[in-house]
Amino acid sequence: MAVPGKHKEHAPASVKCGVVTISDSRTPDTDDSGKLIRDMLLRAGHSVLFYVVVKDEPKPILDAVEQASWTCDTVVTNGGTGLARRDVTIPTLLPTFEKALPGFGELFRSMSYQEIGTAAMLSGATAGVYHGRLIFCLPGSPDACRLAMEKLILPELAHAVGVMGR
């Protein structure tokens, strides 16, 4: 059941967004997931005020999210959410969240399971609030980013930011 219109009436028409790609191998030219996220946000009427590709290391991740939080209401990260030793997005960002949104990760893994099967449980995808900004941490796969953006983030982004502003 969708949230009734009355609940979404305080939602902003457009949300200021940042995109942080976390990867040891991608560059802005080869960042298919970051491009996909930016394109989907723009097509949905939101603005993208910040974009960067950083190494999968705690300090660059924290620095990028902090910098994005200065001008953006929402930051979408992609990459570094798995089990590999170099995947440090979740252990880096989760402890900094003022609030966690466990439903995001739960729904994402459930929807992923429908598409890819049991490998969905290997994703640490999560969301939370950092310095009053909504943060979504997605896997680096373009298919995973498309699923999260299309089915979860874009339908509720403006509503969530509006609720946070009250």
Tens of pLDDT, residue by residue over 119-164, are 999 999 999 999 999 999 999 999 999 999 999 999 999 999 999 8
Superfamily of domain 14-164: MoaB/Mog-like domain (3.40.980.10)
Categorise residue 79: left if φ over 0, alpha if ψ from -120 to 50, beta otherwise.
Answer: left
pLDDT tens digits, 74-88? 999 999 999 999 999
Q: What is the pTM of this model?
A: 0.94
pLDDT surpasses 90 at 12: no
Q: Residue 6 — pLDDT band, cuts 50, 70, 90?
A: low
Domain spans of the chain, in order of start: 14-164
Q: Centre a 10 Å sphere on the Cβ of residue 91 and count the other Cβ atoms it contains.
A: 11
From the list 69, 72, 102, 77, the residue with the least C-alpha distance to 12 is 72
Distance of CA 17 to the CA centre of its chain: 10
